[in-house]
Amino acid sequence: MPDGTDQSPTIQIVPRIADVTAAEWDSCAGTDNPFVSHAFLDALEQSRSVGPRTGWLPQHLTVRDPGGRLAGAVPLYVKSHSYGEYVFDHAWANAYQRAGGQYYPKLQAAVPFTPVTGPRLLVRPDAAPDTADLLVRALESAADGNGLSGVHVTFPREAEWERLGEAGWLRRLGVQYHWENRGYGSFDDFLGTFSSRKRKAVRKERRTVAESGLEILTLTGDELKPDHWDAFFRFYTATSDRKWGSPYLTRDFFHRLGEAMPDKVVLVMAREGARWVAGALNLLGGDTLYGRNWGGIGDYPFLHFEACYYRAIDFAIERGLKRVEAGAQGEHKIQRGYLPAPTYSAHYITDPGFRRAIGDFLDRERAAIEEEMALLAAESPYRRDGAD
C-alpha cells in the first residue's frame, strides 16, 4: 500500500541565492565556470549590484528531488529592461509594445552583466535523467503562469541551446572572439603561426608598451590587495561613465569577489611609477580564462591590447589552458589571434503571433550571422598553406 510519501520533485523560486547553500548550488553548477558559482552570484546580490537598483530581481529556479536534495537550478532574474544582457532585444520590446503588448517584465536566465558562455540548466550529476527537461518546463510555466512575455536564456552552452530548441524555443546565434591554445610553449611559438606582416605588428605593439616605462603585473590569489581593487574600481567606473553611463558593479562587489574566490581572479594591473593607471579583470575557469572588465586613465598606446589580450594569452600558455574568451564585441581582436566563435541564446515567447514574427526574424538573422562569421574568419592573421 502507498505510504503517503510524496515521490514528486519540488519546484521552488527563491529570491536570494543565499537561500540555497553554497555546497548544494555548486553541486549542480560544477567547478568549470566561475560565473555560475554560488560565490559569484552571491557577491552580485550581497553587494547590491543585482537587485531593485539595477533592475535585476533574483528569482532563482530550483528543483529538489523527493529526498529533499537540490537536483537542479537555473540562475533566473525578473527584468524590467534589457540592459546588461549583451543579447539585444530592444527592437523586440519596441515592436511588441507598439502592438499593444507588455514586454516587461520578462524572465532572464543568465549571469548579470556577463557575456560568457556557461551552463544555465544546472543539474547535479547524479540527478534523475529528466531533471533538465523539468527545469525547461518550469521556466515555461513561470512565464505562462505570471503573464510574462517570455523567458530568455542567454549564453548557454551549445548542448543546452539544442535541448531548448528541441523543446520548441526560438534559437539565436551571436559571435564573440576567442583564442585557442594549439599546444604553444610560449608567446613566440604562438606568434610563429602568424603571417610575417601580422607577426611584426603584434611585436611592435608589445615593444611599444614594454618601452613606455609602465610596469605590468598579473595578480591572482593572495597577491590581490585592497589597493589593487580600489584602483581597478576607479578604472571601471571611469570607463563605464565614458561609454555606458552609470556602472552596475559596486566597489563592494569587487571586495567580495576578491574575498570569496581570489584563486579564480586574474587581475592584470599597469602602473607608472607608484600610480596605477589601468587594469583588466579576468576570471579563471577549468580550462578557460575569461576576460571581463577593462579600465584605465591616461593615454598609453597599445596598453589595452597588452593588458587584455596578450597578457591573457601569456597566462593561458603558462597554465596550459585551452582558450581565452575575450568578451563581447571587437573585430580588432581578430588581428591579435582571437577568432570568431558562435554564442547562443534561446527564447520562449508566450504570445503565439509574436513568437512567429521573432522566429522569422531569427531565421534571417542566423543566416546573416553565419555569413558574417565566415567573412571574419577569412581575416585571420594565421599563416595559410605554409605561407609567411
pLDDT in tens, 254-284: 999 999 999 999 999 999 999 999 999 999 9
Taking all residues of the chain, what is their mean pLDDT, rounded to a whole number? Answer: 94
Place 109 in a pLDDT band, splitting at 50, 70 and 90. Answer: very high
Q: What percent of the chain has pLDDT over 90?
A: 91
Provide the pLDDT confidence category of residue 92 given band limits of 50, 70 and 90: very high
So what's the pLDDT on residue 2?
Answer: 44
Which pLDDT belongs to residue 329? 78
Q: Tell whether the model's pLDDT for residue 3 goes beyond 80.
A: no
- Confidence band for 5, pLDDT divided at 50, 70 and 90: low
Domains 10-174+342-376 and 182-321 share a fold: yes
The whole-number pLDDT of residue 330 equals 83
pLDDT tens column, 27-38: 999 999 999 999
For the chain, which residues make up each domain, given as ranges? Answer: 10-174+342-376, 182-321
Tell me, rounded to whole angstroms, the distance of Cα 109 from its chain centroid. Answer: 12
Q: Quote the pLDDT of residue 241.
A: 44
Q: What percent of the chain has pLDDT over 70?
A: 96
pLDDT score, position 94? 96
Mean pLDDT is lowest, of 13-27, 104-118, 228-242, 369-383, for: 228-242
What is the predicted pLDDT for the residue at 384? 82
Of the pLDDT bands very low, low, confident and very high (cuts 50, 70, 90), residue 239 is: confident
The pLDDT of residue 200 is above 80: yes
What's the pLDDT band for 4 if we cut at 50, 70, 90?
A: very low
* Rounded CA separation 365/28 (Å): 33
Q: What mean pLDDT comes out for the span 19-27? A: 98
**C-alpha distances out from residue 57 to 36, 72, 105, 106, 349, Å:** 16, 20, 10, 11, 20
Give me the CATH topology for the region 182-321: Aminopeptidase (3.40.630)
Q: What is the pLDDT of residues 352-376, one digit of tens each?
A: 999 999 999 999 999 999 999 999 9
Taking the alpha carbons of 366, 372, 377, 381 in that order, is the dihedral positive or negative?
negative
31-73 tens-digit pLDDT: 999 999 999 999 999 999 999 999 999 999 999 999 999 999 9
Grid coordinates representing 19 are 537561500
Identify which of 297, 301, 307, 281 has the alpha carbon closest to the alpha carbon of residue 215. Answer: 307
Secondary structure string (H, E, C) spanning the chain = CCCCCCCCCEEEEECCHHHCCHHHHHHHHCCCCHHHCHHHHHHHHHCCCCCCCCCEEECEEEEECCCCCEEEEECEEEECCCCCCCCCCHHHHHHHHHCCCCCCCEEEECCCCCCCCCCCCEECCCCCCCHHHHHHHHHHHHHHHCCCCEEEEECCCHHHHHHHHHCCCEEEEEEEEEEECCCCCCHHHHHCCECHHHHHHHHHHHHHHHCCCCEEEEEEHHHCCHHHHHHHHHHHHHHHHHHCCCCCCCHHHHHHHHHHCHHHEEEEEEEECCEEEEEEEEEECCCEEEEEEEEECCCCCCHHHHHHHHHHHHHHHHHCCCEEECCCCCHHHHHHCCEEEEEEEEEEECCHHHHHHHHHHHHHHHHHHHHHHHHHHCCCCECCCCCC
The residue that leads in pLDDT, 109 or 239, is 109
pLDDT at 247: 83
pLDDT above 90: residue 103: yes
- Tens of pLDDT along 290-341? 999 999 998 999 999 999 999 999 999 999 999 999 987 788 999 999 999 9
pLDDT score at 298: 87
Residue 193 in this model has a pLDDT that exceeds 60: yes
Cα 4 → chain centroid: 44
Query: Of 141-145, 214-218, 325-329, where does mean pLDDT reach its minimum?
Result: 325-329
Q: What is the reported pLDDT for 388?
A: 65
Round to whole Å and give the CA distance between 182 and 320: 10
Band (136; pLDDT cuts 50, 70, 90): very high
Model confidence band, residue 7 (pLDDT cutoffs 50, 70, 90): confident
Topology of the domain covering 10-174+342-376: Aminopeptidase (3.40.630)
